[in-house]
Amino acid sequence: MQKMKRPSFALCCLFAFSLVSCGGGPGEEPSKDSSSCQHQFALKSETPSTCESSGSQIYECSLCGYDKTVALDPLGHAFGDWAQEKQASCTESEVLERHCTRAGCSKKEEKAGQEALGHLWGEWAREGDSMKRHCQREGCNAEQEKAAPFIKIISSGEEVSPFLPAVEEYLNAETPDVKDYVRNDGGIQGYLVRFIDTYSEVKEVRIDYSKREDFSTYQSVFAESAKKSCALYNLEKASTYYVRACVQEEGREVYSAIETLQTASYGPRVMKIDGIHNVRDIGGYETPSGRTLQGLLFRGGALSPSTDPAFTKIQLSEEGKEYMSGTLGIKTDFDLRTQAENRAPDTPLDSGLTSSPVPGAKLEYYGVGGYESGLANKEGYRRVFSALSDPSRYPIYLHCTGGADRTGTVSYLLNGLLGVSEEDLIHDYEFTSFSIYGERNSKGGEYHFPQLVSEIASYPGSTLSEKTESYLLSCGVGEEEIYNIKAIFHGQKTKLSLSCPSHFDTIAESTLTLQVKGGFENVTSLTLNGIGTPFEVKGDSLLVRKEDFPASLQDGEVQGAVVIDGVSYSFSFQLSGSSSLIAFDFSSGDIVLNDSKSKISGNVIGYQGKTALFRIKESATHGGTYLFIGSYGVYLRGDGFRLAQRSGDSFSESAPRVYVEGANLPQSKVNGGVLLGVAANALNEKTIRLEIYADKVKLGYHDFARVEDEIPSEEARFELAISGDVAQASLSSPQSAD
């Protein structure tokens, strides 16, 4: 319906006029004919307008009753101020609204306010194999996810070799001549480990490796992330290693999955140790009794500069010392040279090392040669293999200067004894050709390897192992010692070795010491000539005090027995005491000789074979010392004993100079303290034999023609005098120390 406008002022006047002129006056009946009525309208009713709806007014003619409707326009909304209806969020804009203020109107309007805020993301964090980050705005649960960076070891699943390609070719050739492969870089490249690393910020990757899958113990190396690989050295051959990679991510360690690495079973286990060369493990080879143990004995070159001018820069570094001591646990520095060889060029002969460059290792010298000429020194090789039978010495570092010839000879004998194949023995010997020490060729040449092989082959036996054992037995190496060497390298229990001194002097000594090699748990009893005797266990020694000896023991052979871990071991020694006498009266303590007192007369010893015993406790001397029993004596100077003569109360060296054969005693040992013994024995009416002992070992003797003015036996005292250039000597009772 068309809306009507409000009547104008003119229209209202006209309307009022019509009221007057409708045809009747006030109070008169309106005309029935409205068309002719001069209407007089009055407001009859009104419908008010609202904000959105039109209103109306109805007017009625008072004359004729005619109704007339006038439309009213809508009022329109009277909105208040805009107000926030909903805050802006990460994904939605702010909503504003306003309401109409007219009574009864509920109309409202909305519009967008501030735009959506966007997410306030936190830091990316690893959750499993993914990286996630979460919106930090209160009430927002939005998250984002992406693939996490990762580190992975690439495993080929195949046996891995540490050798350089040329050396690999040599080891796998049927009949190689090592001269065609000689090099000086060690021959190895290490065991190559490859990895994938997708961490953009990581510069370094740590590679852990262990023989234990739980990594309860492991070693590590570091590699540049960009290189995607690294080399592992010194792994045991024919072994399974577990390998993992590790990176630092936001202060925590992230590990790769664990992969396995199978090391090659052929060739020697070559070691890379900083500062030294030509090092390899002597174990790890197949034998009829199984693969020999690794990590027990390492062969190699010198640990420090030697007299060979070509190798003056050899020096185990601090890193090498830490590795040999801490990782390998070397206990014994087993030097096949003499002490005089273990020194730098142009240094004094006596400047050879007295302690090992390997921290905590005991340095032992053996002074043996190599090849067939070295084998002739059977006593030297007896000492070497007797020592190798002692499990307490392991792990051992065995060496000479280059670790090639003397070391190669001992290695050949040891692995030959264990049953290592001829091919492996040759590879082990020739591998020196890949070091700075030069070619060693089993086919011959400058070095005598063929002669060594031929010499061992001449001994009885059907196998190299049996022939080697025959040679060692001929050297005096005991069957028990050979058994223990085999047991050590095959991981079997060794037999105990019990050693006892051959002689015990109750005058010079206070304690009998039995050495037990091989380790034990319990010692239950000890007897001497069948009589139970008290003892003390101290480390690997059994100590028996002479006060605890059975009273029935007499000079002569004593048979003993000791039960260790349920097994009885026998021993024997010669007991003496009635044949020894203390040289001087030490009841007032030690005796000091110096410039003011250079001679002393002791107890009567006589010519019946009694031994005068005393101990030089310390001596600061560069001169000589006279030792006399009655009319007969010797002069100790330098490293030996010379004949001396008596004139009244004076002593002098005999002329011409004559040495007591075999009686050698280094002056350094005298200066440091030694137990000395001198005995005079009248062999017949014409001869007196003078015998000399040091630390209970007979050094030598000389037969003197008896002199006409001989001091009678019953008056023959022991006398000692120091020469004029001796500063001081301190003498003590032989019982003051063992």
Structure tokens belonging to residue 335: 């030097």
Q: What pLDDT sits at residue 57? A: 93
Least confident of 161-170, 304-313, 318-327: 304-313
Residue 115 lies in a domain: no
Q: What's the CA gap between 34 and 61, in Å, rounded?
A: 9
HSE-up (13 A, CA, CB side) for residue 458: 9
Query: Is 124 inside a domain boundary?
Result: no
Instruction: Read off the pLDDT of each residue in 494-521 and give the average, rounded to a whole number.
Output: 85
pTM of the model: 0.60
Say which CATH number the domain at 635 has. Answer: 2.60.120.200
**Is position 140 within any domain?**
no
Host domain of residue 29:
9-72
Average pLDDT over residues 436-451: 94
Strand 159-160 to 259-263 pairing: parallel
pLDDT classification of 518: cutoffs 50, 70, 90: confident
Number of Cβ within 10 Å of residue 677's Cβ equals 27
Residue closest to 39 by CA, chosen among 59, 69, 10? 59
| pLDDT band with cut points at 50, 70 and 90 for residue 563 | very high
* Res. 727: pLDDT tops 60: yes
What phi, psi does 556 have (nearest 5°)? 130, -170
Verify that 586 and 544 share a domain, yes or no.
no
Residue owning tokens 């007897």: 527
Q: Are residues 275 and 324 in the same domain?
A: yes
pLDDT of residue 1: 38
Render pLDDT for 394-428 as a digit per residue (tens, 0 to 9): 999 999 999 999 999 999 999 999 999 999 999 99
Encode pLDDT of 681-699 as tens digits: 999 999 999 999 988 788 9
pLDDT of residue 498: 87
How many CB atoms are closer than 10 A to CB 340?
15
pLDDT at residue 488 tops 60: yes
Is 191 found in the same domain as 168? yes
Q: Is the pLDDT of residue 24 over 80?
A: no
Q: Does residue 217 share a domain with residue 326? A: no
CA distance 477 to 485: 11
The 10s digit of each residue's pLDDT in 329-359 is 999 999 999 999 998 887 887 788 999 999 9
4 — pLDDT class (breaks 50, 70, 90): very low
> Looking at the structure, do residues 211 and 327 belong to the same domain, yes or no?
no
Q: Average of pLDDT values for 702-724? A: 93
Count the neighbouring beta carbons within 10 Å of the beta carbon of residue 78: 12
Q: What angle do CA 82, 83, 87 make, to 5 degrees?
A: 130
| Average pLDDT over every residue of 651-678 | 87
pLDDT per residue as tens digits for the range 618-660: 666 566 889 999 999 999 988 889 999 999 999 999 999 999 9
CA 551/CA 554 separation, integer angstroms? 8
68 and 208 together in one domain: no
Backbone angles phi, psi at 678, to 5 degrees: -135, 130
3-class DSSP state of 645: strand
Question: Would 589 be classed as within a structural domain?
Answer: yes
Give the whole-angstrom CA distance, residue 50 versus residue 73: 9
The total of structural domains in the chain comes to 5
| 350 plus 237 within the same structural domain | no
- Residue 9 pLDDT greater than 50, yes or no: no
CB-CB contact of 289 with 490 (8 Å): yes
* Structural domain ending residue among the three candidates 209, 237, 263: 263
Output the pLDDT for position 167.
96
Q: Could you tell me if 248 and 278 lie in one domain?
A: no
The answer to whether 584 and 718 have CB atoms below 8 angstroms apart is: yes
Give the angle subtended at the CA of 565 by the CAs of 564 and 568, to the nearest 5°: 45
CATH number of 287's domain: 3.90.190.10
Please say whether the beta carbons of 3 and 54 come within 8 A. yes
Are the C-beta atoms of residues 309 and 347 closer than 8 Å to each other? no
Task: Tell me if 134 is assigned to some domain.
Answer: no
What tens digit of pLDDT does each residue of 357-383 get? 999 999 999 999 999 999 999 999 999
Q: What is the pLDDT of residue 30?
A: 47
For 130-185, how does the pLDDT look when each residue is reduced to its tens digit (9 = 90+)? 889 999 999 999 999 988 888 889 987 889 999 999 999 999 999 999 999 999 99
Asked if residue 15 has pLDDT above 70, the reply is no
- Name the average pLDDT for the chain: 89
Does one domain contain both 572 and 586? no
Q: How confident is the model at residue 40 (pLDDT cuts 50, 70, 90)?
A: very high
Q: Determine the pLDDT at residue 5.
A: 45
Considering the domain boundaries, does residue 472 fall inside one?
yes
Residue at 544 is within a domain: yes
Token pair of 697 as six digits: 């070992």
Contact 356, 363 (CB under 8 A): yes
Torsions phi, psi of 669, nearest 5?
A: -70, -40
- 334 and 297 belong to one structural domain: yes
The answer to whether residue 114 is domain-embedded is no
Largest CA distance in the chain: 206
Confidence of residue 577 (pLDDT cuts 50, 70, 90): confident
pLDDT category, 78, cuts 50, 70, 90?
very high
- Euclidean distance between CA atoms 503 and 427, whole angstroms: 47
pLDDT value at position 210?
A: 97
Residue 246 and residue 274 in one domain = no
User: What's the CATH number where 166 sits?
Assistant: 2.60.40.10
Quote the pLDDT of residue 728.
76
- Average pLDDT, integer, range 518-539: 92
Query: Do residues 208 and 310 both lie within one domain?
Result: no
* Boundary residue ending a domain (263, 288, 307): 263
Q: Of 263, 297, 323, which residue sits at a domain end?
A: 263
The percent of residues in the chain predicted with pLDDT above 90, rounded, is: 68
Between 361 and 392, whose confidence is greater? 361
Contact between residue 632 and residue 688 where contact means Cβ atoms under 8 Å apart: yes
